[in-house]
Structure 1
């Protein structure tokens, strides 16, 4: 027999289905949503940043970097672009971040579903998998709430509970644990962060070009720069997302977790000080708030000047105190916005359970892909590239093992 059951019709599941079907397997995809690809449709704010020209292992958090490096090498970005181009998709390059030329994630899903249909892949929706049983003859029984599906190979592509998209779930962890596989708890990643300081209620709604450094127990562990959103509960935006994995992990380990914001990253403290001195020279009558007018968002200025007045004490150099605070503004991370506000999760089935073909060593014939793995990437198409790479490897390997058995 050559029956492959894939659990989950997301990015990696659809890629696995297409690759297995191209290798002459009979493929059925079980999806617990009413439609396939819901999270894919929501990715990139509906534009779908499907890969990145600068994908590298340094863009991922993983317990097994060499395994992920090999996965990315076996199905690299160039193969992703070729694959989708052959399906009829054209691309838009935004500084290495690759989007469909239509700027619509629906285009990516459409070409995947058309190819799956052409290959006679069966996609059964509203099928919640409740368990997987390995039979004595090496085959599987995949149980749902309504049916039992016999399979010769099974691919877990059921994602994570990240995002508020309907149907996001912890199925991978639940099934993995039931099979005795090592799993790690799902934690939010690429997520807004909450801060402990009360002044965030005053700056909500600001957007500012800034740098962020994430410190865990006083040691810098990650950093980024770009547009940061100041919210009523804390901080958000792509630079915050890029460091959020380390922040959430630090908090989970009960470690002191802080961020230092630099609201003048291009000029630094001395550059800002020169600017403030020039403004004061030209307008000696200006107040502290007026000195910063035009340099920073209006809502941010009173927060900075208020703290500066309290901190500088008897220091005679007001301008230097102000410049130092603007370029070195510490906040205490109190938590995250939670899994439902996260784009992806860390956690899932441990990569140490898997061979290079992404098959479980202890359960031959069972494969794991995408967000079901304990791997998460930075913003910019890295997470979807992991889905394409792992989906292709698992789909091709599962089908090939059927023909070789």
Structure 2
């Protein structure tokens, strides 16, 4: 008789786990609380599904247990992922190392996985909410509800791939964390990640909608913690854009720990402080005869230039000729070291992923099996692993799903 593997969660990780377990000879049952599998995949890559990345490095994966994710990634990385999807009919389109389906439709990836699950004769039950997992002598007893009715099912192994608390409207509500805790696992505090940051200063209303090249550096209790560079988006409440997303998990953790969190924005990151000050001095000479509201023309968006001048008390009607050396130094500082205090992140609903989750020190990185409960496996975002933007969170889903499915089927 085949070993029965029950998978809780039919997202990217759960689908990969199901296919891998079936390929390794298991009888697989997939339980998903949404009405379709892979619903969250549809929102990835702005609807285009950046499903992995050619560039892989340990720095692309974050966790309180450093090195855990990278050890796992080494067993199933981008080449294996690309090959897997080619076998499903998904040919990759390479955009500077970012891999998308050739059609650039996330729905293609979701449908390919669904078709593969059906071809593998994997039983899929949707609209199912699991509320209990009890270890038994030869496996697990799982309690669930569907259409208002309760039921139980048993299996020799369980893979918990129920996602995180991010974007609950797509079906991941964090209920998997409760199941993990019931089974004795610790959680690293769960906070929003790849998310916008809300700032204290009122000037953001003046600059809402501005996009500008820049660098963002986050400080936690005065200590520089992380930075990234790229297109910053200024909103009516604070800061957004890929660089902000990349450092947001550190800001979120600092806020969770009740620490002071601020960021420095560098609006001219391609220039050092001395070099930029020299540029400002040269502009004073070249733009003699103009007024300050014209001084940053060609460097910054008018709304941003006006806000920067207002921040340090320089009138837009002041003649450029009247700029003092002190004013030039203040302009340099505000453009290169614009300090903004972060009061909170946007909520989980608007986060792409979460940082934190099941403590990976309690998980075997080779198989994703629990070190506490034999036969219990984890995969995907429920674990304390979060990737940077660029296909890394989906790569983690494919990797952990593959290892969990293989481990559960062969144990």
Q: What TM-score do you get using the length of structure 2 for normalisation?
A: 0.93
Q: Shift of the alpha carbon at 1:388?
A: 0.5
Q: Shift of the alpha carbon at 1:361?
A: 1.7
> Aligned ranges for residues 48-127 of structure 1 at < 5 Å?
48-127=49-128
Contact preservation (8 Å) 1:34, 1:125: yes
Work out whether 1:331 is the aligned partner of 2:340.
yes
Q: Distance in 2 between matches of 1:39 and 1:245?
A: 20
Contact preservation (8 Å) 2:11, 2:40: yes
- 1:130 is paired with a residue whose SS is strand
Contact preservation (8 Å) 1:172, 1:349: no
Q: Shift of the alpha carbon at 1:310?
A: 6.6
Q: Shift of the alpha carbon at 1:256?
A: 1.6
- 1:309 is paired with a residue whose SS is coil
The residue number in structure 2 matching 1:204 is 208
Which is worse superposed, 279-288 or 217-226?
279-288
Equivalent of residue 295 in structure 1, options 293, 299, 302: 299
Q: Shift of the alpha carbon at 1:258?
A: 1.0
Cα deviations across residues 110-160 of structure 1 (Å, max 9, x unaligned)? 11111111100111110000111111x221111111321211111000000
- 1:266 is paired with a residue whose SS is coil
The residue number in structure 1 matching 2:319 is none
Q: Distance in 2 between matches of 1:63 and 1:264?
A: 33
Cα deviations across residues 334-359 of structure 1 (Å, max 9, x unaligned)? 11001111110012211111123111
Q: CA RMSD in A?
A: 1.7
Q: Distance in 2 between matches of 1:34 and 1:294?
A: 51
Q: Shift of the alpha carbon at 1:164?
A: 4.6
Cα deviations across residues 29-60 of structure 1 (Å, max 9, x unaligned)? 10001111111111111111111112222112
Q: Shift of the alpha carbon at 1:244?
A: 0.4
Work out whether 1:139 is the aligned partner of 2:149.
no
Work out whether 1:384 is the aligned partner of 2:388.
no
Q: Distance in 2 between matches of 1:347 and 1:273?
A: 42
- 1:65 is paired with a residue whose SS is coil
Q: Distance in 2 between matches of 1:93 and 1:308?
A: 45
- 1:177 is paired with a residue whose SS is helix
The residue number in structure 1 matching 2:263 is 259
How many residues align? The count is 398
Q: Distance in 1 between matches of 2:190 and 2:325?
A: 50
Structure 2: 5+ residue stretches without partners = 316-322
- 1:165 is paired with a residue whose SS is helix
> Aligned ranges for residues 2-401 of structure 1 at < 5 Å?
2-135=3-136, 137-145=137-145, 146-309=150-313, 316-355=325-364, 356-401=366-411
Contact preservation (8 Å) 1:38, 1:165: no
Q: Shift of the alpha carbon at 1:18?
A: 0.4
